[in-house]
């Protein structure tokens, strides 16, 4: 009998219950007990939704991040929080975001500290808190979180499969703060893992899912050897280990994975189909093979009939050794399609969210175990939906395909070199040295959210909504004038999300009501659904930004999201290459850039925050991606005159190893995240002569902490050691949408003061 299981479930709740509970706690509006109770209720609800599985994951729930959870389980706390004697959950939030809750008197509790560095989880839009190591790091087991959730699950009658991050991946994910060799810590780490597994065995656990996704990356000999060391040390555990990989192919790591002394292996059969036949040959006759046959990263229905055609011979060969699951944790998709009441009915019939994906698993298992006739109605309905989507005229637009065919190399070229452009832009903009700006958004206040909600519900007409947004834009302009910033933004009051806002105005997109996905902590995004060929029927931002520019003589940045980021932060169609879809987006956003220029906007920022996260996990595949990604950006940006200054922005991405590709984008200025990494992300500039302007972020906007003028000056001095001062801008790490005005004003005041100090000391 084929068995089915899940690698992880979305934890935010179908209605973002966890988000709102976290933010209420952090604001001091609810108690710690309230938050913990909500967490317990969500876990119970999610286990119930998974009750049809043979094995249900436990330990996949986190109040902020699963990697941070693992750090606390292993007792690996940064030194700056080790002396905290309060509640462990508050210390957890201190690492996650710099501080925990506010007391009733509005004084910050739990002592502000530097938040842990945050970066992308492999090639997803999820962010994790980076573990910190030194040569002296010690580990000590704290299994309380797992044991608590295990007891809850058992009380609910759940057939449990605890989920933990494996020791080799855990070390790989972290950063050695003293440049020591992370792998030298493995001998100290493995006894703690062995103790954890023994603790779980003592609770009657049979299977433990141990995630080692780095097996789908290109590993050098030292890391490959670490896998053998780790799992030969853990092979005497009394629990059975299901080693899980996902997000790609094992390729040259097949032999390594197949021969590790574990009871089972999970592989991504969506992205790594070519791995399966060689693995079946290599696996010993007693090992379970779990195949991730349902895409855990996208929301399209699985072609169940095609999957069964492929699976049936494998099931005959493996028998009860075959398990089925999604390709990866369902953390990356929304919870339940059934909650969508307004989504276009035709497009909805093509989709599957987390709950529906588990239903697809059950159909596959039933067909394999009892025959296809047992689920004939389900398979027939699935076949009809797949066919309808393939043939829909809404998906295919001949005019868009014709425009794509006309793309040539000239479309991506600026008229002159950066050196020539910079002289013309300097004469026009007249900016001081160390010019100050922000990344785009200002706080999304309760008034903004109320106006948007009332407009969508029909309680506020278009004229009233426009007036409300204009009032917020005017406020942003006034605040920036008072601060003395050098290049303004309009604040993006009218925008719900930097991708969804544009998708709503492009043909080829659809939108869910409740398709929320966790990005980090309490931050959720609702990726738009890119289902068809893309075109722009009319201007999208020109009216708002022109209005903002009319209120001031200071240069106003036009704010756009770039094609690569729109692609990577959408649920993208899977029926054509991503490169084709990206170039369709590039042509559409190019039209907007040209319209902004015609309207007199002299500075235009095209955000490519997600450029790096789209990189394949294997470096050997990077160049192909970078070629079409950079080409798409250049198509978007390079139709303008020399005098128009093009900016781009990238956040929370290690980009040192793609610095040449970023230079090839040829933006006049790039702003990046560097504050949490203490400017370490600028190390690439020590060996690469980056020619254009660069703004290393000096204000960590993902933390409520307010940077001092002295701290900003110190960061910029570090930047000036790597980048010529005439190229440097001063700006926050990212947009200010999630912050409060009470935090933003003092932080930006200090930033502007720091820029003045820098002009005096380094000018």
pLDDT at 685: 76
Q: What percent of the chain has pLDDT over 90?
A: 88
Could you tell me which residues come within 8 angstroms of residue 15 by beta carbon, excluding any fewer than 6 positions away?
A: 339, 514
CB of 363 closer than 8 Å to CB of 332: no
pLDDT at 249: 96
Is 195 labeled as ligand-binding? no
Nearest in space to 3 (alpha carbons), one of 257, 197, 264, 204? 264
Mean predicted confidence (pLDDT) in 52-60: 97
Is 268 labeled as ligand-binding? no
pLDDT band, residue 102 (cuts 50/70/90): confident
Q: Over 60: is that where the pLDDT of 104 sits?
A: no
Q: Is 702 a catalytic residue?
A: yes
Is 543 labeled as ligand-binding? no
pLDDT at 334: 97
Is 16 labeled as ligand-binding? yes
Is 109 labeled as ligand-binding? no
> 226-253, pLDDT tens digit by residue?
999 999 999 999 999 999 999 999 999 9
Give SS3 for 555: coil
pLDDT at 108: 58
> 690-710, pLDDT tens digit by residue?
889 999 889 988 888 899 999
CA separation for the pair 675, 696 (Å, rounded): 8
HEC string for 484-523: CCCCECCECCCCCCCCHHHHCCCEEEECCCCCCEEEECCE
Is 322 labeled as ligand-binding? no
Which one of the listed residues 5, 46, 490, 702 is annotated catalytic? 702
Could you tell me which residues come within 8 angstroms of residue 250 by beta carbon, excluding any fewer than 6 positions away?
A: 215, 216, 257, 267, 272, 275, 279
Mean pLDDT is lowest, of 316-325, 476-485, 703-712, for 703-712
pLDDT band, residue 106 (cuts 50/70/90): very low
pLDDT band, residue 652 (cuts 50/70/90): low
579 or 688, higher pLDDT = 579
> 516-568, pLDDT tens digit by residue?
999 999 999 999 999 999 999 999 999 999 999 999 999 999 999 999 999 99
Mean predicted confidence (pLDDT) in 139-156: 97
pLDDT at 654: 66
The tokens 């950063």 sit on which residue?
Answer: 175
pLDDT at 762: 86
Neighbours of 337 (CB within 10 A): 23
Is 440 labeled as ligand-binding? yes
410 or 16, higher pLDDT = 16
Is 708 labeled as ligand-binding? no
Q: Over 60: is that where the pLDDT of 711 sits?
A: yes
Here the tokens at position 179 are 């440049």
Phi, psi angles (nearest 5°) of residue 310: -80, -35
CA separation for the pair 5, 148 (Å, rounded): 21
Mean predicted confidence (pLDDT) in 473-500: 95
> 461-477, pLDDT tens digit by residue?
999 999 999 999 999 99
Is 19 labeled as ligand-binding? yes
Is 613 labeled as ligand-binding? yes
Phi, psi angles (nearest 5°) of residue 734: -155, -175
CA separation for the pair 367, 1 (Å, rounded): 11
pLDDT at 32: 95
> 23-33, pLDDT tens digit by residue?
999 999 999 99
Q: Over 90: is that where the pLDDT of 448 sits?
A: yes
Phi, psi angles (nearest 5°) of residue 364: -60, -45
Nearest in space to 6 (alpha carbons), one of 294, 428, 412? 294
CA separation for the pair 607, 439 (Å, rounded): 9
pLDDT band, residue 653 (cuts 50/70/90): low
Is the pTM here over 0.85, yes or no? yes
Residue 133: which H helix or E strand, with range? strand 132-133
Residue 712: which H helix or E strand, with range? helix 709-720
Q: Over 60: is that where the pLDDT of 105 sits?
A: no
Helices (H), 414-491: 418-429, 446-457, 462-483
Is 607 labeled as ligand-binding? yes
735 or 681, higher pLDDT = 735
> 593-607, pLDDT tens digit by residue?
999 999 999 999 999
Angle at 520 between CA 519 and CA 523, to 5 degrees: 75
Q: How do the domains of the chain map onto residue ranges?
A: 3-9+43-73+118-389, 417-443+484-761
CATH 3.20.20.210 fits 417-443+484-761, yes or no: yes
Q: Confirm whether 3-9+43-73+118-389 and 417-443+484-761 share one CATH topology.
A: yes
CATH architecture of residue range(s) 3-9+43-73+118-389: Alpha-Beta Barrel (3.20)
Is 380 labeled as ligand-binding? no
């Amino acid at each position: 009998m084929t068995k089915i299981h899940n690698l992880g479930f979305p934890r935010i709740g179908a209605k973002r219950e966890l988000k709102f509970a976290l933010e209420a706690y952090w604001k001091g509006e609810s108690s710690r007990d309230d938050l913990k109770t909500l967490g317990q209720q969500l876990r119970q609800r999610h286990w119930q939704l998974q009750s049809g599985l043979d094995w249900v994951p436990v330990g996949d729930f986190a109040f902020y991040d699963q990697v941070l959870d693992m750090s606390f389980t292993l007792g690996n706390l940064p030194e700056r929080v080790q002396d905290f004697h309060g509640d462990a959950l508050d210390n957890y939030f201190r690492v996650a975001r710099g501080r925990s809750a506010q007391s009733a008197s509005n004084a910050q509790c739990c002592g502000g500290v530097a938040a842990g560095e945050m970066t992308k989880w492999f090639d997803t839009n999820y962010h994790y808190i980076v573990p910190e190591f030194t040569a002296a790091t010690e580990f000590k087991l704290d299994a309380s979180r797992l044991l608590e959730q295990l007891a809850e699950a058992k009380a609910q009658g759940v057939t449990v499969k605890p989920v933990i991050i494996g020791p080799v991946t855990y070390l790989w994910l972290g950063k050695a703060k003293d440049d020591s060799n992370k792998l030298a810590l493995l001998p100290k780490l493995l006894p703690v893992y062995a103790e954890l597994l023994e603790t779980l065995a003592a609770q009657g656990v049979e299977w433990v899912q141990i995630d080692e996704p780095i097996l789908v990356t290109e590993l050098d000999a030292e890391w490959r050897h670490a896998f053998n060391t780790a799992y030969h040390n853990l092979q005497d555990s009394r629990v059975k280990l299901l080693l899980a990989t996902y997000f790609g192919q094992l390729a040259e790591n097949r032999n390594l994975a197949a021969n590790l002394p574990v009871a089972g292996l999970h592989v991504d059969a969506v992205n790594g189909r070519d791995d399966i036949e060689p693995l079946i040959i290599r696996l010993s006759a007693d090992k379970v093979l779990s195949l991730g046959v349902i895409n855990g990263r996208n929301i399209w229905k699985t072609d169940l009939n095609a999957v069964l055609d492929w699976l049936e011979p494998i099931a005959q060969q493996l028998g009860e050794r075959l398990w089925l699951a999604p390709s990866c944790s369902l953390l990356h998709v929304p919870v339940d399609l059934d909650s969508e009441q307004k989504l276009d009915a035709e497009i909805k019939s093509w989709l599957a969210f987390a709950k529906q994906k588990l239903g697809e698993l059950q159909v596959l298992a039933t067909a394999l175990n009892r025959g296809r006739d047992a689920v004939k109605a389900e398979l027939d309905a699935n076949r009809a939906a797949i066919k309808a989507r393939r043939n829909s005229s809404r998906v295919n637009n001949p005019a868009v395909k014709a425009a794509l065919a006309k793309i040539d190399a000239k479309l991506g070229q600026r008229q002159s070199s950066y050196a020539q452009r910079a002289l013309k832009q300097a004469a026009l903009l007249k900016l001081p040295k160390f010019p100050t700006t922000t990344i785009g958004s200002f706080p999304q206040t309760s008034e903004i959210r109320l106006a948007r909600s009332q407009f969508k519900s029909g309680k506020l007409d278009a004229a009233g909504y426009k007036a409300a947004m204009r009032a917020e834009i005017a406020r942003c302009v006034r605040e920036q004038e008072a601060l003395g910033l050098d290049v303004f933004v309009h604040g993006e009051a009218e925008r719900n999300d930097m991708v969804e806002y544009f998708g709503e105005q492009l043909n080829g997109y659809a939108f869910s009501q409740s398709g929320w996905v966790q990005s980090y902590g309490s931050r959720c995004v609702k990726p738009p659904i890119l289902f068809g060929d893309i075109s722009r029927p009319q201007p999208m931002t020109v009216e708002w930004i022109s209005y903002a520019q009319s209120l001031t003589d200071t240069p106003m940045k036009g704010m756009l999201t770039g094609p690569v980021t729109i692609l990577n932060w959408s649920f993208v169609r899977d029926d054509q290459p991503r490169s084709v879809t990206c170039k369709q987006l590039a042509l559409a956003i190019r039209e907007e850039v040209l319209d902004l220029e015609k309207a007199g906007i002299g500075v235009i920022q095209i955000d490519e925050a997600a450029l790096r996260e789209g990189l394949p996990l294997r470096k050997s595949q990077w160049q192909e991606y970078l070629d079409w990604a950079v080409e798409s950006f250049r198509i978007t940006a390079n139709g303008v005159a020399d005098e128009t200054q093009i900016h781009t922005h990238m956040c929370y991405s290690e980009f040192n190893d793609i610095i040449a590709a970023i230079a090839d984008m040829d933006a006049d200025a790039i702003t990046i995240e560097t504050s949490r990494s203490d400017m370490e992300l600028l190390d690439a500039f020590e060996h690469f002569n980056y020619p254009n302007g660069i703004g290393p972020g000096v204000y960590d906007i993902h933390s409520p902490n307010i940077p001092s003028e002295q701290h900003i000056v110190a960061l910029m001095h570090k930047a000036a050691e790597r980048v010529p001062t005439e190229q440097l801008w001063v700006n926050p790490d990212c947009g200010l949408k999630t912050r409060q005005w009470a935090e933003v004003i003092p932080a930006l005041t200090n930033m502007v003061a720091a820029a003045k100090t820098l002009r005096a000391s380094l000018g």
